[in-house]
A and B are shown apart, each in its own frame.
Chain A
Amino acid sequence: MTDSSELPALPDSGPRAVRPGRRPVIAGLGMTELGKVYGRTPAQFAGEAVRLAVADAGVTMADVDGLLTSSGVTGGVSVDLQRELGLTDLRLLTHMQAYGSTAGSMLAYASLAVQSGLASVVACVFADSPLRPERGSGAIYGTRHAGSGWWGLLGASGVVGANPMYALAARRHMERYGTTSEQLGHIAVAQRAWAALNPAAQMREPITLADHQASRWIAEPFHLLDCCLVSNGGIAVLVTSAERAAAMAQPPVPVLGWAQCHPGRYLRRNPDFGLVSGAAIAGQAALAMAGVGLADVDVAELYDCYTFTVLITLEDYGFCPKGEGGPFVASGVLGPGGKLMLNTGGGQLSGYYMWGMTPLSEAIIQARGHGGDRQAAAHDIILVSGNGGVLDHHATLVLGGQAAGQ
């Protein structure tokens, strides 16, 4: 075993160590209509999202020299998007897939590309269109695995889709730490209150804890209101250098820190299952790269495929001690007017489900100060999480507001 304290300190390789002009910033955000939007393919949504992001930044498609693509459950987005957008002589082009952590990872790679000089204006895009008018949301992620081999056996055993897997994770946390369904309900209620202030949110009718408890079971311990929406649409983000962004249309949002953690052990014996996620390692690393601490965080936009995902991420990032997430979220800190500005657009539970682009897009809106009725007063440091698989993939970003860009 090597004691890491004996190793020479590595030079800081984060954005703060880079020539100021090349520091990565977010200069464009493009969001298509989101939700029950039918009759369009993922590639069409992706193309529109990139065009919107380019227009938002006040540049033209000819300025884009990098493209990172990602797709959701229905696929359909790939490097072929270059052709559809008429992009030529790209310096960077690849398709990425680490499930719900992909958006955060794309932003990190785009930032690395910009600060190294590999590319200067990189579009990162996600799009999906799983909803059909005649098909319920549950059917989309609850399809049994095709009937052979190990995957077929899992499905034949009744373990179908993400709902039961996350329910098993949540139950383990409840048994170990005493976390309750009512405590999870506080997250759902608070995010619905935020969604009521967000014109882009799909579910804006207020709910109560009683509504949460009365909503039908999906996979105990999860009620319907513990589970995210399913949405059609696309979101794109444009990353460029501080130098280039100075002449663009929007207030630049500096990308200050990034990290990933992929714990492994999926469908293997895993003492951490449901108790500790990759957020524990990625969160600390991203904050360290940004040179800030948790106390500096003004706004947190955390991946919320389930209420439980928010709770375990809060614990792993250190907002409360391990195991105390339940009492913490029930203590009145959440919601508009609460002490913790968390998932201010309603998140995936009540806003829209664009995988990792949901927390990232709201973070950009907050960082710019464009949140309207839901704008956080302080927004200099914003923490963003992405989560994929069954707590198997984690990405953290630290974004800056206007003060951080100076």
Chain B
Amino acid sequence: MTVGPVDRDQATAEFFDAAARGQFLLRRCPRGHHSEPAAAQCTACASTELAWVPAAGGASLVSWAVAWSKPGHGSDQAATVLVIAEFDEGPWWWSCLDGADPARLAVGTRLKVAFRNGGGEAVPVFELAG
């Protein structure tokens, strides 16, 4: 599984610092709602007092797609399994799924977050849990 290169900017610096340690950061408001890391305010109550908190790492499969490269240059088509995963804390994340046969996937399949490096910051991906 190859991920691409990505650089940090001001908004993503803390997220990528944690990714380098193997942690996926979510945002949490004072009332305990979790939001996606890119959220500028709580998706449940609109609070802007958001703390960074690490996700436990467990997630469930919401949906998946298999992206195929365009054939050509004598090479076979390459496929990447892309997923929407729901972290156990609630927020959703979009990335690729490593090492899974798409024919064996179902809504709710258990996943865990992992990290890969494509020549920049660490990129969160998913693997099958267990």
Name A residues whose Cβ lies closer than 8 Å to a Cβ of B: 136, 138, 144, 147-150, 152-160, 163-164, 167-169, 171-172, 175-176, 216-222, 265, 267-270, 273-274
Contact = CB atoms under 8 A, between A and B. Distances in A.
A258 to B, nearest CB: 30
Nearest to B16: A153
A158 B102 CA distance: 16
Contacts of A159: 82, 94-96
B127 interface: no
A155 B4 contact: yes
B70 to A, nearest CB: 6
A268 B3 contact: no
Q: Is the interface of A mostly helix, strand, loop or mixed?
A: mixed
A177 B63 CA distance: 13
A220 B90 CA distance: 26
Contacts of B35: 268
Given A158-B96, A269-B86, A168 B125 contact: no
Given A153-B123, A158-B82, A219 B70 contact: no
A163 B67 contact: yes
Contact of A267 (B5, B36, B70): B36
Contacts of B63: 168-169, 171-172, 175, 273-274
B92 interface: yes
Q: How large is the interface on B (under 10, 10 to 19, 20 to 34, 35 or more residues)?
A: 35 or more
25 contacts: A138-B70, A147-B7, A148-B7, A148-B9, A150-B11, A153-B121, A154-B94, A156-B123, A157-B95, A157-B124, A158-B4, A163-B67, A168-B63, A171-B63, A171-B65, A172-B62, A172-B63, A217-B79, A219-B65, A219-B68, A268-B36, A270-B92, A273-B63, A273-B84, A274-B63
Interface in B41-98: 43, 62-68, 70-71, 77, 79-80, 82-84, 86, 90-92, 94-96
A91 B62 CA distance: 49
A269 B43 contact: yes
Given A148-B12, A176-B107, 20 more contacts: A149-B9, A150-B38, A156-B3, A156-B6, A157-B4, A157-B95, A158-B82, A159-B82, A159-B96, A168-B82, A168-B83, A168-B94, A172-B63, A172-B84, A216-B77, A217-B68, A269-B36, A269-B43, A269-B86, A273-B84
A221 B65 CA distance: 7
Given A156-B3, A175-B63, A269-B36, A220 B96 contact: no
Contact of B5 (A156, A169, A222): A156
A165 to B, nearest CB: 8
A175 B107 contact: yes
Most B-side CB within 10 Å, residue of A152, A216, A222, A269 = A269
